[in-house]
Structure 1
Amino acid sequence: MAEQTDTHLSPQPNGKFTINFFETVKDGKDGENIFFSPVSIHLSLAMTMLGALGNTAQQLKTALQLLEMDSGDLHEEFCKMLDVVRSAREGSSLHIANRHFVQNDYKLLKTFQDASQKFYKADAKNVDFASNTEASRLEINKWVGEETQNWITDLLPSGSLSSLTRLVLVNACYFKGDWKSKFNVQLTKPEVFHVSSTRKENVLMMKQRGKFNLGFHAMHSFWFLELPYLNEDLSMFLVVPTEIEGLQKFEKNIDMDLLNQMEKQLIMENSVFVCLPQFRIRMNVDLVKTLQKMGVTDLFSEKSCDLKGICEDDLHVASAVHESFMLVDEEGTEAAAATAVVMNLRCAPRPPMEVKVDRPFIFYIKDKKSGQILFFGRYNKPMEHLAVCC
């Protein structure tokens, strides 16, 4: 099942960044749920790259897996990718918005402003960080809430901005898609989810029988299932180990090339009974710590940061945050994510008739038209308010 892309931007940087980011952020989080939007983080840092120079730009380019791309064409290709991702889709809503919040009377370079608008459709909004920091924070959070249908309402927590803040680059991403084949609500009932070989919890398990693309990887022992949305350019892919604790083994060998290969080798099966838990997942990520582990250090250093392509003053990134949320039910999927970059002045066997997702699994939502991964996660355990008591 070959993947089609209508954009010149290769899906490889997005995929490689996704896996590297996942491997970094999951460190020390054994047994925890993980969820993020690669495209939201990628776009926010790409916007930052517009004004980054020297080693600061090189570190960003390395972390974003963009070294093989020509710097002159990089942002043009991001622009083309955004046009494809934003194109109208029947039965789904995919919304991506970018905005700069700038201190009143603070002079950004015209070249940066023009490029931000041209490539990322990022308009600028003046606020007063210097004398009214809290009101500015609330205004940014309000905008993010509006752009994500109020799924992300407190992206910037109290204390995340200061009177020295001069610029905040924000990306908001919202997705809502109906399944091509919806689950029968009447079949949903409490069933066991194996958090581990020794721990079980009850979840609401959704069920349906239908035709689905399915594959099996014998070496790593996992089922690979595609659940398409009504617009078949968009799909959720599931990696379901055959063993209850098999995900830990798979994660040691996870590779985007492997997942891409599995996508191409999927086979349409005429009758598969799918059991999938209803689930919600939400995560906040401190991008500063994560990106530093990925080699982006100068960006956060008052001494070394070079953002002279944004303004003539000495800016550095004081904080960077990312929050994402997803809801999966019988009708489909609703997901949202937002990223803010805050800049301060220096200071194989036959497939089974049943695929039962009753153990930890990996999932991702992909826009096959552009090849971009929109959301990526690991589901280890039910959130407390969704656990079901039988």
Structure 2
Amino acid sequence: MNYGLFNSSRLHFSSMHVVIPMFRVQTEVDLCKALPFLGMNNPFDSDRADFSGISDVDNLHIDSGKESAYLQVSRSGIRLFSVGTLCLGTDRHQFRHPDLFEVPNLEEPGEMEAKDIHSFVVNQPFTVILIDRESDCVLYQARIKVPEPVSGSKLPATN
């Protein structure tokens, strides 16, 4: 996916009425499998890894790593939790570093005239991309193939 298409300088904002089911998405990624696929092999090899900028320990490398994410969209807004764990190790040491963050709830929309509001009904497969407005960083991305609402949510029928 080309994230340049989502650059805020290329987008324009308009008022929109969005009908979306409340939903939850939970994922877990094994970083030891995903990162080499992206070309990051050295951190996992004790002979080639270079963590000298953070430790004086010899042969420090990544033993294991996982990234778990949880996204919930509800009437009260969006909650995103991401927990990443890297286990750095040698023959004698092992270190862990977890991280956790939450995206605050969406702001309440201001008053809009009905003629300015477009309608968008999410009742088929869709992609969710949360982007930080200040940094243009992608915080979370998921593809929902079969939208299944959580209890208390009604999913509109497909046309």
**TM-score, normalised with respect to structure 1:** 0.30
- Structure 2 matches for 1:169-184, cutoff 5 A? none
Question: What runs of 5+ residues in structure 1 fail to find an aligned partner?
Answer: 1-253
- C-alpha offsets along residues 325-368 of structure 1, whole Å, 9 cap, x if unaligned? 01111121111001111111149xxx994211111111222221
2:59 paired with 1:314: yes
- Structure 2 matches for 1:1-390, cutoff 5 A? 254-260=1-7, 264-269=10-15, 272-309=16-53, 310-346=55-91, 353-382=118-147
- Contact kept in structure 2, 1:281 and 1:383, CA below 8 Å: no
- C-alpha offsets along residues 89-122 of structure 1, whole Å, 9 cap, x if unaligned? xxxxxxxxxxxxxxxxxxxxxxxxxxxxxxxxxx
Instruction: Measure the CA separation in 2 of the matches of 1:352 and 1:268.
Output: 8
Question: What runs of 5+ residues in structure 2 fail to find an aligned partner?
Answer: 93-115
Instruction: Measure the CA separation in 2 of the matches of 1:369 and 1:334.
Output: 18
Residue-pair matches, total = 131
User: Cα offset for 1:387?
Assistant: 9.8
RMSD: 3.0
User: Cα offset for 1:303?
Assistant: 2.9
Structure 2 counterpart of 1:357, which letter? V
Structure 1 counterpart of 2:14, which letter? M
Structure 1 counterpart of 2:11, which letter? Q
Change (3 A) 1:308 1:353: closer
Structure 2 counterpart of 1:326, which letter? L
Instruction: Measure the CA separation in 2 of the matches of 1:385 and 1:268.
Output: 28
Change (3 A) 1:375 1:277: same
User: Cα offset for 1:298?
Assistant: 1.3
Change (3 A) 1:267 1:338: closer
Which secondary structure does the structure 1 equivalent of 2:63 belong to?
A: strand
Instruction: Measure the CA separation in 1 of the matches of 2:153 and 2:21.
Output: 11
Instruction: Measure the CA separation in 2 of the matches of 1:367 and 1:375.
Output: 10
Instruction: Measure the CA separation in 2 of the matches of 1:328 and 1:338.
Output: 18
Instruction: Measure the CA separation in 1 of the matches of 2:154 and 2:74.
Output: 18
Change (3 A) 1:267 1:308: closer
User: Cα offset for 1:379?
Assistant: 1.7
Structure 1 counterpart of 2:20, which letter? L
- Contact kept in structure 2, 1:308 and 1:314, CA below 8 Å: no
User: Cα offset for 1:311?
Assistant: 1.7
* 2:107 alignment counterpart: none
- Contact kept in structure 2, 1:302 and 1:346, CA below 8 Å: no
Structure having greater relative contact order (Cα 8 Å, sep ≥ 6): 1
Change (3 A) 1:267 1:296: closer
Change (3 A) 1:273 1:389: closer
User: Cα offset for 1:384?
Assistant: 8.6
**TM-score, normalised with respect to structure 2:** 0.68
Structure 2 counterpart of 1:322, which letter? E
Change (3 A) 1:321 1:383: farther
- Contact kept in structure 2, 1:322 and 1:339, CA below 8 Å: yes
Structure 1 counterpart of 2:125, which letter? P
Q: Percent identity?
A: 22
Structure 1 counterpart of 2:61, which letter? H
Change (3 A) 1:371 1:260: closer
Which secondary structure does the structure 1 equivalent of 2:7 belong to?
A: helix
Instruction: Measure the CA separation in 2 of the matches of 1:389 and 1:368.
Output: 30
User: Cα offset for 1:324?
Assistant: 0.7
Structure with more helix by fraction: 1
Instruction: Measure the CA separation in 2 of the matches of 1:339 and 1:265.
Output: 31
